[in-house]
Amino acid sequence: MQITLAVSTVIFALRPTSAGADPESGAPLPALWLPLVRRIRPPYEGQWALPGGPLGIDEDLEAAAARTLGATTALAPNYLEQLYAFGTLDRSPDGANDRVVSVVYWALVNSDEVVHSDRNTSTENVRWFSVDDLPDLAFDHDVIIEYALWRLRNKVEYSRIAHAFLGDTFTLAELREVHESVLGRTLDPANFRRQIESTNAIVPTGKRVTGTSYRPPKLYRYNNSAEPVDRGPLGRTDPAEPASPSRKPTA
Amino acid sequence: MQITLAVSTVIFALRPTSAGADPESGAPLPALWLPLVRRIRPPYEGQWALPGGPLGIDEDLEAAAARTLGATTALAPNYLEQLYAFGTLDRSPDGANDRVVSVVYWALVNSDEVVHSDRNTSTENVRWFSVDDLPDLAFDHDVIIEYALWRLRNKVEYSRIAHAFLGDTFTLAELREVHESVLGRTLDPANFRRQIESTNAIVPTGKRVTGTSYRPPKLYRYNNSAEPVDRGPLGRTDPAEPASPSRKPTA
DNA sequence: TTAATAGTGTCTCTGAGACAGTATATA
DNA sequence: TATATACTGTCTCAGAGACACTATTAA
């Protein structure tokens, strides 16, 4: 018997709630969705699981996570961070003859680019689910998703990652809506503006949205040069970059 | 070729600065120390490295970290938490024919119980170093220790883990000294008291220190029943417990 | 009484949030 | 002009820190 090392990824996107049509009804916030993969072999055959697979012998952990993400969504992650390494002995059902340690990453992707249709990019075995309405999951993947959600909500509050759900440019209202969706509560526009501006997280592009029936809002973009609040073990500037970590980042 | 999965542990303890004798000279704060192990085979033969080793086939990750800690210090950890999984391709020197992914834990041990003498508990190949005066380290262990230090300092500020350096009972002054040592600055006793009391982290034992030449301070102990500020992926109450994680902790 | 540390009271400053008010586009 | 949203000003409140002050023991 042998210990297998796998890498899985929790991939988050935002999706408008009433997928029908009119955004005119009482402001329903977008909800968090994530793609799952149907297992085609035991254990847990037929059940849904996080996308992932064994680590390649010549592959960085983060690269494996990004590869999995691409295979599942045909996208590149806007944000990618290691979540945790899961390795307890009870992860597989009793009697299973394997020992798997999973290094799990979590990622944010641009919601506009996500193909949400059931006839998906890759196969019929990938489907997107609302985090509020998940199916029965294989292994301990329910616990993993719960923890990833906790980290996401935590980090949105003190860090500057919400823009990863959006495109290159966005309005403050759009960014605020992302925060509201993730945190599950409405935020005061005035205070939100001040808070974001104080972190230098975004810079105005000088352009404005056109075609509105009201005062056109400014467009902003993410400020790549500002220091991130958090840091990984290697102090990378942007966790989305799959750059190989330098051994001595600053000190 | 095969991917090897190893578990290493960064073990922190506090040690009085002027190991001489008199605690009478201007208040030198204790400093952080950690044990390293001298490598007895290539690569990096003869250099110092974090204690650790391969994961046992029937061993939880956390159990492996605790086992390593016991083998190195003959102690049980008062606090133990996963730090990060390190797995980049450049971790071993060029030309080395191995691929190691290390799941690294960090731990706090009771400083009073640590045997600091060079003739150590286990072998001559274990030695304690001040984190301000580390030798050349094998692999990427310098980066790992740097990150563990960052996490420790971060977590001491917002969580309630400092007591793990102390015994069962302690005075507020002792607890404050731990904070001061870790953070590297002095703290206002009055404000520190209020801050700690507001978190319900500690409860008075009703006893006092005896034999002082001044007003005897109250003795406190850690409040196990209070909710921890942080939570692991499984919401355990006390990370020191090597309990196997339950699949659905609260929700 | 003096010395030394334990422990309390209170002022100030800063940042978060509530919320009123002003600005600017289209219809 | 009405209206809808962008954006600004300002008040209040709570927590962090500075620091003066009181309490209690032994020498």
Number of residue pairs across A and B with CB atoms under 8 Å?
Answer: 97
Domain annotation covers residue A203: no
CB contact under 8 A, A87 and B60: yes
CA–CA dist B101, A60 (Å, integer): 10
Nearest to A140 among B90, B101, B247 (CB): B247
CA–CA dist A7, B98 (Å, integer): 19
Residue B221 has pLDDT above 60, yes or no: yes
Residue B213 has pLDDT above 60, yes or no: yes
Q: Which of A94, A101, A152, A157 to mutate: most B Cβ within 10 Å? A: A101
pLDDT below 50 — which residues of chain A? 19-26, 120, 237-251
A189 CA to C19 C1' distance (Å): 11
**In chain B, whose CA is at the least distance from the CA of A150?**
B233
Count CA atoms closer than 13 A to B138's CA, side-chain side: 19
Nearest to B5 among A3, A88, A231 (CB): A3
CA-CA-CA-CA torsion sign (B102, B54, A6, A151): negative
- Using an 8 Å Cβ cutoff, are B28 and B17 in contact? yes
Which residues of chain A are within 8 Å of residue B92 when distances are taken between CB atoms? none
CB contact under 8 A, B82 and A85: yes
Closest nt to residue B188, judged CA to C1': D17
Domain annotation covers residue A179: no
| Count of structural domains within chain A | 1
- Residue A243 to chain B, least CA–CA distance (Å): 10
CB contact under 8 A, B3 and A5: yes
Question: Where do the DSSP E strands lie in chain B?
Answer: 3-15, 31-38, 48-49, 52-54, 79-86, 99-108, 126-130, 169-170, 202-208, 218-222
Segment B45-68, tens digit of pLDDT: 999 999 999 999 999 999 999 999
Find the mean pLDDT for residues B12-31.
67
Task: Look at residue A245 in the predicted model and tell me its pLDDT.
Answer: 30
* 3-state percent helix, strand, coil for chain B, nearest multiple of 5: 25, 25, 50
Nearest to A233 among B55, B60, B84 (CB): B84
The domain that contains A154 carries what CATH number? Answer: 3.90.79.10
With vertex at residue A70, the alpha carbon angle to CA A64 and CA A72, rounded to the nearest 5 degrees, is 105
CA–CA dist B58, A167 (Å, integer): 46
Strand C: list protein residues with Cβ under 7 Å.
A 188, 190-191, 194-195, 198, 212-216; B 171-173, 189-191, 193, 213-218
Task: Look at residue A242 in the predicted model and tell me its pLDDT.
Answer: 30
B213 CA to D25 C1' distance (Å): 7
pLDDT band at B233 (very low <50, low <70, confident <90, very high): confident
Domain annotation covers residue A28: yes
CB contact under 8 A, A60 and B231: no
By CB atoms closer than 10 A (0-12, 13-18, 19+), residue B183 is middle
Find the mean pLDDT for residues B161-188.
95
Look up residue A239 and give its amino acid. Answer: P
Q: Treating both helix axes as pointing N-terminal to C-terminal, what angle do B141-158 and B172-183 enclose, rounded to 10 degrees?
A: 140
Residue B19 has pLDDT above 60, yes or no: no
CB contact under 8 A, B233 and A89: no
Find the mean pLDDT for residues B10-19.
84
**In chain A, whose CA is at the least distance from the CA of B1?**
A57
The model scores a pTM over 0.85: yes
Cα–Cα separations (whole angstroms), residue A233 to A113, A220, A224, A251, B143: 30, 30, 19, 13, 7
Residue nearest to nucleotide C26 (CA to C1'): A213
Task: Look at residue B248 in the predicted model and tell me its pLDDT.
Answer: 32
Structural domain containing residue A90: 3-159
B71: tokens are 């083998």
Identify which has the larger pLDDT, A111 or B235: A111
pLDDT band at B249 (very low <50, low <70, confident <90, very high): very low
Task: Look at residue A232 in the predicted model and tell me its pLDDT.
Answer: 76
CA-CA-CA-CA torsion sign (B85, B86, B89, B95): negative
Task: Report phi then psi at A78, rounded to 5.
Answer: -85, -20
> Where on strand D do bases come within 7 A of a protein Cβ?
3-10, 16-20, 23-27
Domain annotation covers residue B233: no
Q: Bridge-partner residues for B37, per DSSP? A: B49, B126
Strand D: list protein residues with Cβ under 7 Å.
A 171-173, 189-191, 193, 213-218; B 188, 190-191, 194-195, 198, 212-216
pLDDT band at B235 (very low <50, low <70, confident <90, very high): low
Q: Which of B1, B2, B5, B150 to mutate: most A Cβ within 10 Å? A: B5
- Residue A36 to chain B, least CA–CA distance (Å): 20
Residue B117 has pLDDT above 50, yes or no: yes
Domain annotation covers residue A120: yes
Domain annotation covers residue A239: no
Nearest to A87 among B2, B103, B247 (CB): B103
A156 CA to C20 C1' distance (Å): 29
A195 CA to C16 C1' distance (Å): 9
CB-based contacts of A225, cutoff 8 Å, min separation 6: none
CA–CA dist B243, B228 (Å, integer): 17
Alpha helical stretches, state H, B159-244 = 172-183, 189-198
Domain annotation covers residue A214: no
- Using an 8 Å Cβ cutoff, are A117 and A4 in contact? no
CB contact under 8 A, A61 and B147: no
- Complete DSSP assignment for B67-109: HHHHHHHS---SEEEEEEEE--TTSSPTT---EEEEEEEEEE-
- Complete DSSP assignment for A60-122: -HHHHHHHHHHHHHS---SEEEEEEEE--TTSSPTT---EEEEEEEEEE--GGG---SSS-SS
